Chain A
Amino acid sequence: MNSQIFHPFVLPFVLGMAFVLTYCLVGLIRVILQLPKDDRKQFLRSLVTPKTAWANIRDLFGDCLFHVKIWKRNPLLGYMHSAIAFGWFMIIVIGHIMLFTLKPLEGVEVEGFARTFTNFYYPIFFKYFAEETPVFAFLMDFFLLMIISGILIAVVKKIHSKIVGVKRVTKFGFADNMIRFALWTIFPFRLIAEKTNIMAFWWLYSIDLLIFMFMLPFTRYMHIPTEALFILMRHAGLNAREPRKGYALAQLYSCPSCGLCIDACPMSVNDKMSGNTSAYFMKKLRNKDSDEAKRIAETCLMCGKCVMVCPVSIESCDIKFSQRAAVPYEIHSDHSYLDVISTEAQRSGEISSKDKVLYFAGCMTQLTPKIMRAMKQIMETAGEEYEFLDKDGGICCGRPMLLSGKTAEAQAMIAKNTELIKKSGAKKLVLSCPICYKVFKEEYHLEGIEIQHHTQYINELIKNGKLKVNKTDVNYVYHDPCELGRAFGVYDEPREVIENVGNLLKAKSEKELSICCGGSLGSFNLTQKERDEITSNSVADLMFNNPDEIVTACPLCLKTFARKSPVPVKDIAELFVVHQA
């Protein structure tokens, strides 16, 4: 114990802390000011709404401190993160509690204004200035050792990432490597300083803190303060509107570049393509490397798996959409034909009974006539009254235009389709294509009309006895299309249908972790060869348990897999044709 209230070695820390707090405060104000007016109101209101406030508290602790999502993925990786984050948090908290419990500090009388000043750095260098009670001393040492154990795992992970179940890690530049080294050394220095009281180590400890805090805003560790803001904004239900402003900016700074999305990304079949993953996109966009950010945004398949595995829940696909929308692509589309389009029933004036089912095949299903034919057979066998909305080739659902950020063009098609659907008088709309399904669910306002994908529709018909099928010994594996599974959680209905007609085997990666087929409309510039590599990898994953046939529920996945699959690939609707009782 040293009977003094100040020593020059605290200055580096104080300087660093002042810098980082100022930076964060300015950044916070900037992000909030960048929000569109409505979003800002929504955000501020959410802070005082009890429901979101509770979710905020839950996630601030769960995500920032305990890293629940990383624990779920790999316990060792989870321990590593929470040991460092939670341990550090506890040291600071206990340090502050000690300040209040040891009042007045032994040997040193600090009063009034000086007290608030010393409080700033006292807990950080506590052992130099004051003596702890045994209980606190134990707690402090315990958490310090916990942090160091986390750092030890981090060092091992750096050398051999597979130990925490990670195959590919993010490649870092000089600044990120340097701050990491600073972070790794802070706590060992503190431990040595506390135990030996050698001045040099107090200085090293403090200077390390300065380096860490000074570099923090310019490196991935900025996610530590920003994630808190991001959680609040996410719970407020905001959407990223511009790629580097407001909510999107908060997300860019919240990305820890942990690289968990790299292994998850279907493009990571080789080193070159793994550079197209979200971790790099966020980094490039944040570092204003706009050419690369634009390229990656256009390359992405938009399968959403990175969003699903992200421990911070960053909505990287939305940011990529906003990036695409910011680029004025030269698309000259002529939508004058929309005025003259009507359906067969409307032309013949046969409108409408109430229980009618409206079937919309969509352009991809038009290219896979087996699915259309199967759907017709299903609806006719089940005795359903139905109308085929796009029998003569209808209007696109709008998804491709939305994917390229062309909202106005998409809205023109959406408006016309909405009109056709409402005029039909049907109460149910059945879609064969998950791409259409997503758009109809999210972008259309079809109040009073139930929207179903045909997996749900067929399952319902089997359940209520309208369709009869035979169970056989054929071994099937089911591929979850991205826009049916991850986007809407339709996992059970297709599996129930398959279990009615055969044995359902598991794929290596299923449901949320299902791998994109490689044919996605989402990507603008992947070459066919690159897509083929993705497809082969996805097929291999499905073939894990040697099924007799692959079943999917998306015409695009079907066509894509059929090119590379060693076994027949079928749409779920085609199963009925084979197994009809």
Chain B
Amino acid sequence: MKENILIIGGGAAGMEAATQLQKMGLTPIIVEKSEHLGGHIAQWDRLFPAFHPAKDVVDQMLNQVKDVKTYLNTEVTDIQRNSDGFKAILSNNETIDAKAVILATGFDIFKAERKQEYGYGIYNNVMTSVELENFFRTGNDARINNPKKIGFVHCVGARDVKVCNTYCSKVCCTTALKQACEIKEVFPDAEVYTFYMDLRMFGPGYEDLYLKTQKDFDVKCVRGRVCEVSEDMDGKLVIKAEDTLFGKPLKMTLDVLVLMCSMEKNKSIDVIQQKLGVANNSDGFMQNKDMYLGMNGTAQDGVFVAGACTAPKSLPDTIGEARSVATQVFNYINSK
């Protein structure tokens, strides 16, 4: 039985789904728009909660998909349903016939410029969590110059009606604490503050990380949101926030401010998604069939979803979904 399964997106979800489908005897084909597989996770340095190197996981995944037919720097430009399944046209003008389609298109990072009050793109020393992770990976960032005081702002672009995102982005809380510890490792004398609404430590070992952050790394967690950021004459950042546990406003001067940017739906797939007839949910992510038994299905027969294209997800969540989508697709093909 050799049946083509088109997987759009070659991140964690796409790669893991391809691995499983291949083991099941189907023929997965990955179409990835960027020049490499691995998605966002390939840009990451270490993973929470145990500071495990991301490269380790990504390399294992890459190794598993080395025999899978993969198109890099390629996008699906058109897709149509026919009696055999789907016919997709790629940006390199090749055509793929597939029995089923898996959307594993993942997420985009919230554009921090949209929260102008945090000053990203205006003040030099405001950076995003992604840029900080890049610093950990490469050791290069002109903004990080032996900082004495560093702040983290949680929920940037998440749980915020003012940017039209009311959902929780799920992974930023734990990532912020992980990064806070890591920056303390690099600069042990620095003072590190995190500004949170509430800390959502939902997974195994996450709560332990929270305790460790405070006990071992002396990171100060402040419950309250940062309301505005400005720059003083020396180019340092002056932030205003509220400490809701003390019930008092506070003002603080920082060397670096890190914005924990949320996940947003990857909009580059919108046209193809529309052609496939898959709707969005109220958070703007893709709408799956239901939240429980139909989490990998969509309203359209033969169109499946996996990973962060339906909601913000952690890496373990995504891998789990990728494996489950493979089973769903396998059953779907067999029932035909």
Per the bound structure, the CA–CA distance linking A471 and B141 in Å amounts to 37
Segment touching B, from A69-77, A78-86, A267-275, A364-372: A364-372
Contact at B164–A366, with CB atoms within 8 Å?
Answer: no
Contact at A370–B122, with CB atoms within 8 Å?
Answer: yes
Residues of B within 8 Å of A372, CB to CB, are: 230
Contact at A369–B122, with CB atoms within 8 Å?
Answer: yes
Contact at A366–B230, with CB atoms within 8 Å?
Answer: yes
Closest to B282 in A: A529
B: number of interface residues (CB 8 Å) = 16
Known contacts: A366-B228, A369-B230. The answer to whether A393 contacts B117 by CB under 8 A is: no
Q: Which of A367, A393, A528, A532 contacts B116 (CB 8 A)?
A: A367
Per the bound structure, the CA–CA distance linking A559 and B116 in Å amounts to 8
Contact at A562–B123, with CB atoms within 8 Å?
Answer: no
Contact at B240–A393, with CB atoms within 8 Å?
Answer: yes
Known contacts: A369-B116, A369-B117, A369-B230. The answer to whether A563 contacts B164 by CB under 8 A is: yes
Per the bound structure, the CA–CA distance linking A373 and B119 in Å amounts to 11
Residues of A within 8 Å of B162, CB to CB, are: 528, 559, 563
Contact at A368–B164, with CB atoms within 8 Å?
Answer: no
Residue B161, interface by CB 8 Å:
yes
Chain A, range 344-376, C-beta contacts under 8 Å to B: 366-370, 372-373
Chain B, range 228-274, C-beta contacts under 8 Å to A: 228-231, 240
Chain B, range 68-106, C-beta contacts under 8 Å to A: none
Known contacts: A366-B230, A367-B117, A368-B116. The answer to whether A373 contacts B122 by CB under 8 A is: yes
Main secondary structure of the interface of A (DSSP, over half): helix
A455 to chain B minimum Cβ distance, whole angstroms, is: 20
Known contacts: A369-B230, A373-B122. The answer to whether A528 contacts B161 by CB under 8 A is: yes
Q: Which of B114, B227, B229 contacts A369 (CB 8 A)?
A: B229
Per the bound structure, the CA–CA distance linking A562 and B229 in Å amounts to 19
Residue B24, interface by CB 8 Å:
no
Residues of A within 8 Å of B119, CB to CB, are: 369
Residue B186, interface by CB 8 Å:
no
A: number of interface residues (CB 8 Å) = 13
Closest to B164 in A: A563
Residues of B within 8 Å of A559, CB to CB, are: 116, 162
Closest to B118 in A: A369
Residue B211, interface by CB 8 Å:
no
Residues of A within 8 Å of B228, CB to CB, are: 366-367, 369
Residue B144, interface by CB 8 Å:
no
Residues of B within 8 Å of A370, CB to CB, are: 116, 122
B249 to chain A minimum Cβ distance, whole angstroms, is: 10
Residues of B within 8 Å of A367, CB to CB, are: 116-117, 227-228
Residues of A within 8 Å of B117, CB to CB, are: 366-369
Chain A, range 228-264, C-beta contacts under 8 Å to B: none
Closest to B230 in A: A369
Interface code A303-322, partner B: CB below 8 Å = 1, 0 otherwise?
00000000000000000000
B90 to chain A minimum Cβ distance, whole angstroms, is: 28
Residue B50, interface by CB 8 Å:
no
How many pairs of A and B residues are in contact by the CB < 8 Å rule? 35
Per the bound structure, the CA–CA distance linking A367 and B122 in Å amounts to 12
Closest to B123 in A: A369
B160 to chain A minimum Cβ distance, whole angstroms, is: 10
Contact at A563–B163, with CB atoms within 8 Å?
Answer: yes
Per the bound structure, the CA–CA distance linking A203 and B125 in Å amounts to 87
B4 to chain A minimum Cβ distance, whole angstroms, is: 37
Interface code B160-177, partner A: CB below 8 Å = 1, 0 otherwise?
011110000000000000
Per the bound structure, the CA–CA distance linking A369 and B117 in Å amounts to 6
Residues of B within 8 Å of A368, CB to CB, are: 116-117
A463 to chain B minimum Cβ distance, whole angstroms, is: 29
Closest to A372 in B: B230
A573 to chain B minimum Cβ distance, whole angstroms, is: 13
Per the bound structure, the CA–CA distance linking A437 and B162 in Å amounts to 24
Interface code A365-400, partner B: CB below 8 Å = 1, 0 otherwise?
011111011000000000000000000010000000
Chain B, range 116-138, C-beta contacts under 8 Å to A: 116-117, 119, 122-123
Q: Which of A366, A393, A562 contacts B114 (CB 8 A)?
A: A562
A375 to chain B minimum Cβ distance, whole angstroms, is: 13
Residues of B within 8 Å of A373, CB to CB, are: 122
Per the bound structure, the CA–CA distance linking A369 and B113 in Å amounts to 11
Known contacts: A366-B230, A559-B116. The answer to whether A532 contacts B240 by CB under 8 A is: no
B72 to chain A minimum Cβ distance, whole angstroms, is: 30
Residues of B within 8 Å of A393, CB to CB, are: 240
Closest to A363 in B: B228
A183 to chain B minimum Cβ distance, whole angstroms, is: 48
Residues of A within 8 Å of B230, CB to CB, are: 366, 369, 372
A312 to chain B minimum Cβ distance, whole angstroms, is: 38
B153 to chain A minimum Cβ distance, whole angstroms, is: 14
Closest to B238 in A: A392
Closest to A558 in B: B116
Closest to A366 in B: B228
Chain B, range 136-188, C-beta contacts under 8 Å to A: 161-164
Per the bound structure, the CA–CA distance linking A559 and B123 in Å amounts to 18
Per the bound structure, the CA–CA distance linking A562 and B230 in Å amounts to 20
Contact at A532–B122, with CB atoms within 8 Å?
Answer: no
Residues of B within 8 Å of A528, CB to CB, are: 161-162, 164
Closest to B231 in A: A369
Per the bound structure, the CA–CA distance linking A33 and B200 in Å amounts to 63
Per the bound structure, the CA–CA distance linking A368 and B230 in Å amounts to 10
Closest to B251 in A: A393
Residues of B within 8 Å of A532, CB to CB, are: 164
B56 to chain A minimum Cβ distance, whole angstroms, is: 40
Per the bound structure, the CA–CA distance linking A372 and B123 in Å amounts to 12
Residues of A within 8 Å of B161, CB to CB, are: 528
Interface code A8-43, partner B: CB below 8 Å = 1, 0 otherwise?
000000000000000000000000000000000000
Per the bound structure, the CA–CA distance linking A369 and B162 in Å amounts to 17
Interface code A122-163, partner B: CB below 8 Å = 1, 0 otherwise?
000000000000000000000000000000000000000000
Closest to A532 in B: B164
Closest to A393 in B: B240
Residues of B within 8 Å of A562, CB to CB, are: 114, 116
Apart from A366-B230, A369-B228, A562-B114, 9 more pairs, CB < 8 Å: A367-B227, A369-B116, A369-B123, A369-B229, A370-B122, A372-B230, A528-B161, A528-B162, A532-B164
B residues lining the A interface (CB < 8 Å): 114, 116-117, 119, 122-123, 161-164, 227-231, 240
A residues lining the B interface (CB < 8 Å): 366-370, 372-373, 393, 528, 532, 559, 562-563
Complex A-B, nearest 9 residue pairs according to Cβ-Cβ distance, in ascending order: A367-B117, A528-B161, A368-B116, A369-B122, A369-B119, A366-B228, A367-B228, A563-B164, A370-B122
24 examples of A-B residue contacts, CB within 8 angstroms = A366-B117, A366-B228, A367-B227, A368-B117, A369-B116, A369-B117, A369-B119, A369-B122, A369-B123, A369-B230, A370-B116, A370-B122, A372-B230, A373-B122, A393-B240, A528-B161, A528-B162, A528-B164, A532-B164, A559-B162, A562-B114, A562-B116, A563-B163, A563-B164
